[in-house]
């Protein structure tokens, strides 16, 4: 028969084993929760992170008036005219704000050049994302009835609000 001190020692040992297994279970549960939370964060960032490949056409409509008399560097506002799809998913919705810049114009009579525009920023979920596109020359005289219908004029060139323009991504756009 075990003595009182032996019983006390056995009881203490059993108590320690019980506490250790409880601590081990808590540690396992904590690690499992951390793993699940990490996976959820990665999955959420993958849903928000997307890339539109170089060469994709971005069709926009101007919001502000642009003129061949405007200074180089002046910015203009436009809106994405059509949803932009990549692998069947809409990555840019129609109506998304876009911003462009005048690269060249006739504003400086000493260094006159045809009106040249580029897109520089797109507003995605409240943040502005830099974009690199080709340059377009809406100042080229209209050669088709379609160009005339879409707002291109001759003389002092004016690109009216609502004018549809197409830019092509020169580099992938990471959203």
Q: Is 4 exposed, middle or buried (0-12, 13-18, 19+ CB in 10 A)?
A: exposed
β-strand partners of 104: 116
First CA to last CA distance, the chain: 75
pLDDT at 45: 47
Q: Is 118 exposed, middle or buried (0-12, 13-18, 19+ CB in 10 A)?
A: middle
CA distances from 110 to 56, 60, 113, 139, 140 (A): 36, 31, 9, 18, 20
CB 115, CB 138: distance < 8 Å = yes
Q: What is the mean pLDDT of residues 91-96?
A: 95
Q: What is the mean pLDDT of residues 120-138?
A: 93
Q: What is the mean pLDDT of residues 36-64?
A: 76
pLDDT at 62: 95
pLDDT at 113: 78
Report the predicted TM-score, pTM, of the whole model to 2 decimal places: 0.64
């Amino acid at each position: 028969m075990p003595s009182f001190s032996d019983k006390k020692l056995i009881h203490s040992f059993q108590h320690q084993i019980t506490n250790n297994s409880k601590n081990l279970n808590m540690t396992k549960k904590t690690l499992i929760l951390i793993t699940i939370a990490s996976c959820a964060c990665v999955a959420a960032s993958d849903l928000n992170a997307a890339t539109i490949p170089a060469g994709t056409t971005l069709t926009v409509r101007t919001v502000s008036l642009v003129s061949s008399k405007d200074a180089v560097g002046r910015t203009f506002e436009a809106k994405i005219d059509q949803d932009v799809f990549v692998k069947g998913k809409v990555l840019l919705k129609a109506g998304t704000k876009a911003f462009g810049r005048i690269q060249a114009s006739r504003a400086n009579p000493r260094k006159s050049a045809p009106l040249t525009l580029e897109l520089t920023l797109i507003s995605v979920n409240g943040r502005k994302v830099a974009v690199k596109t080709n340059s377009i020359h809406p100042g080229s005289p209209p050669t088709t009835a379609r160009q005339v219908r879409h707002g291109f004029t001759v003389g002092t060139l004016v690109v009216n609000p609502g004018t549809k323009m197409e830019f092509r991504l020169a580099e992938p756009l990471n959203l």
